[in-house]
Amino acid sequence: MAHPLAGPQAYGRALRLLLGNPSLLGWALLPALVTLALSIAALWAAMSFGDDLLGWVWPEPDGGWLHGLWVAGRWLLSAASALLSLVITPWLVMLIGLPLCEPLAERADALLGGPAPSAGFWAGIADAAVSSTGIVALGLAGAAALFVLGLIPGVGLLTAPLATFVWTPLFLAFDLYDSSLARRQVPFRRKLALTFGHPAHSLGLGLIGGFLVSVPIVNLIGLPLSVVAGVAAVRDLEARGALRADR
């Protein structure tokens, strides 16, 4: 059974692997830049939308205390929109950024003793995109359900922490595991069992990964680091015999 530091240790192994193999950084460049652009765009769109929404609901007063109240409301709405973008961005990264990391994941897996990289560069990215789309759809469906439940007075006190600290990290971990498990021909249901059956690995991996892929600039290296950490976590579980047990 994995210990509580299994997730953080996977990131330590990933960092050592990247620093020890500079050729991997070249494979990380494209998804890193795409993820950075996505995060900045999401943050800008959320804050701009907040301004437009306030202007539509309450046009800017000419002056006086109402104008001061309007300015305070504008800043509060912009801050709330920025926080919302940090919740949405990991899903965007999972949908678009992670498939572009498939060549990196394959080569990192091979360096850690896993299967050799496949011959098809674009085929691997396409397969990862299809899988990631399904994972994101399932994760978003759960997040939407938690959001609706959160509208019930008192229930939001439970659903908000659940969505932030359990649901989203688990599905991010699932996506980080996915390409390595697919190369080992692990079926979908067994991937779910592996993710939810080893919470020390999955929550540790997903909580750290959620921060690394959500924050602009940080995710320039955070995305590829999280992908390689997912590979390292699967290799660790494989070495412990967990993949055989799940079969």
Q: Look at residue 185 and tell me if it is in a domain.
A: yes
Query: Residue range 31-40: average pLDDT?
Result: 78
Task: List the domain range (segments joined by +) for residue 169.
Answer: 19-28+89-238
- In this structure, are residues 14 and 231 in contact, taking their beta carbons and an 8 Å threshold? yes
Query: Residue range 26-48: average pLDDT?
Result: 76
pLDDT at 230: 95
Instruction: Render pLDDT for 126-174 as a digit per residue (tens, 0 to 9).
Output: 777 777 777 777 777 777 777 677 667 766 677 777 877 888 888 889 9
In the predicted model, is pLDDT for residue 99 greater than 70? Answer: yes
Query: Residue range 98-126: average pLDDT?
Result: 81
Q: Look at residue 216 and tell me if it is in a domain.
A: yes
pLDDT at 77: 63
Q: Look at residue 158 and tell me if it is in a domain.
A: yes
Q: Look at residue 49 and tell me if it is in a domain.
A: no
Q: How far apart are CA 14 and CA 111, in angstroms?
A: 11
Q: What is the pTM of this model?
A: 0.74
State how many domains the chain has: 1
Rounded to the nearest integer, the mean pLDDT of the chain is 78
Q: Look at residue 41 and tell me if it is in a domain.
A: no
Q: How far apart are CA 247 and CA 241, in angstroms?
A: 10
Q: How far apart are CA 147 and CA 163, in angstroms?
A: 8
Q: Look at residue 5 and tell me if it is in a domain.
A: no
Phi-psi region of 101 (alpha: psi -120 to 50; beta: other; left: phi over 0): alpha
Model confidence at 21, pLDDT cuts 50, 70, 90, reads very high
Q: Look at residue 77 and tell me if it is in a domain.
A: no
